């Protein structure tokens, strides 16, 4: 099996106006272009209103564009929602689905995540499906069972390494400054890899990212963990220097 290429994905969440997004994306695109051959793929996921301007600004660059959610339908009476085809129209290649903030703020279920991922696949998008336990679930010894259940419910039929990325994001580590230990990450990523068998056509080739307070200071150690195929980065993705330092630590 070919080695899995690392993916460094920036989740901008609900941050930034047009000028900020253009500055950040153009800066990163410039660094990527100047770096020549690199050992990672880099992705930015701005808020919906910034997808078109940022997509236009980085068009033709190796910096990829993604969104933070999509609807499961192509069009219709779904006020406030955005469909997968609208994302590809803006230049997106990826979409983050089932982030814990959406599962919490919008009560998104595994079944909804699976339906969105299936719709994203149909449109040619790579779905980054997020899973992860809460602190209470970890303390109760339920982390493996919770993540296995989320994977079972959230990965749609037809998932492959080409159209699906998994992001393990322990909820207690997101935006808190707390990071899972390399040993905990290694154990969970091995668990996820084993659980992917039967749920994807080519489980050994699927990229499994770690997310949760990844910073320049801890990235190298986390990215070196077995079965960690990149990072989903929130806060540190909003500063070009920090995001670049994380990517180049691979
Ligand atoms: C995230 O939002 O996916 C995330 C991992 O955030 P942070 O890096 O800020 O913890």
Nearest CA to ligand 1 atom 4: 234
pTM (whole model) above 0.90:
yes
Which ligand 1 atom lies nearest to the CA of residue 237? 8
Known binding positions for substrate: 11-13, 175, 213, 234-235
Tell which residue, 90, 94, 101, has the closest CA to residue 176. 101
Residue 121 is a catalytic residue: no
3 state SS of 84:
helix
User: Catalytic site residue 99?
Assistant: yes
Convert the pLDDT of each residue in 57-80 to its tens digit: 999 999 999 999 999 999 999 999
* Residue reference for tokens 């899973």: 131
| Domains parsed from the chain with CATH numbers | 6-11+42-247 (3.20.20.70)
CB 97 within 8 A of CB 128: yes
Query: Interface pTM (ipTM) of the complex?
Result: 0.97
Give residue-wise pLDDT tens across range 123-142. 999 999 999 999 999 999 99
Closest CA to 174 of 232, 216, 242: 232
Alpha helices in 36-109 (DSSP H): 51-58, 84-89, 100-105
Tokens of 93: 């290649």
Provide residues with CB under 6 Å of ligand 1: 11, 13, 169, 174-175, 211-214, 232-236
């Amino acid at each position: 099996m070919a080695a899995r290429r690392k993916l460094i994905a920036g989740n901008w969440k609900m941050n930034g106006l047009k000028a900020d997004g253009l500055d950040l994306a153009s800066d990163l695109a410039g660094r990527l272009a100047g770096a020549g051959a690199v050992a990672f793929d880099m992705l930015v996921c701005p808020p919906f209103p910034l997808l078109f301007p940022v997509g236009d600004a980085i068009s033709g660059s190796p910096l990829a564009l993604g969104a933070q959610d999509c609807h499961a339908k192509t069009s219709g009476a779904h006020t406030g929602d955005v469909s997968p085809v609208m994302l590809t129209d803006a230049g997106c290649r990826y979409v983050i689905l089932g982030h814990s903030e959406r599962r919490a703020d919008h009560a998104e279920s595994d079944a909804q995540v699976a339906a969105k991922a299936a719709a994203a696949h149909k449109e040619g998008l790579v779905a980054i499906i997020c899973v992860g336990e809460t602190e209470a679930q970890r303390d109760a010894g339920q982390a493996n069972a919770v993540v296995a259940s989320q994977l079972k419910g959230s990965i749609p039929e037809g998932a492959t390494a080409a159209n699906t990325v998994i992001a393990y994001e322990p909820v207690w580590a997101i935006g808190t400054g707390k990071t899972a230990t390399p040993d905990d990450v290694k154990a969970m990523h091995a668990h996820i890899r084993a659980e992917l068998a039967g749920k994807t056509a080519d489980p050994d080739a699927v990229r499994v990212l770690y997310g949760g307070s990844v910073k320049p200071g801890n990235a190298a150690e986390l990215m070196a963990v077995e079965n960690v195929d990149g990072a989903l980065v929130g806060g540190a993705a909003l500063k070009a220097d920090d995001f670049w330092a994380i990517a180049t630590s691979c």
